[in-house]
Structure 1
């Protein structure tokens, strides 16, 4: 019967237990305060003008052609098989 008195004692202590009140200040020192990180600078925007000038001054490379054999106008000659054939209009 001793077992029964142990349970009664446990239940008595359990009912007598009061949970401590939680305050807003309890979290201070336990949690870091959140601050938004500053926006990083975009590396692309830093030298955009210089990159554009370098791109515009680049030589056009065409596969299969020597770089020194390009035409002076800068336009590559199209092979004749790339030219579009004109279709004949049907006569009425």
Structure 2
């Protein structure tokens, strides 16, 4: 049973990407914001974070990814995925 739960959780990022594709009519050139990228507020911990998997898949589909997270998180994603398309948004979150 535990294996089934792990497998179901691992499929969630793929489902999210498919939903984005369906709702937006494709991802190429789309600007997408990911809010709350890390596990804990005020950190840059992305270990096994589903948000990092989603960001990587969005970048693979040529989307422009904006992330809102702890200090250094967006630059860490850029380094990890060699992705200049990851940037911190210029707008302020309330």
TM-score by structure 2 length? 0.20
Of structures 1 and 2, the one scoring higher in RCO (CA 8 A, sep 6+) is: 2
Q: By percentage of residues, which structure has more helix?
A: 2
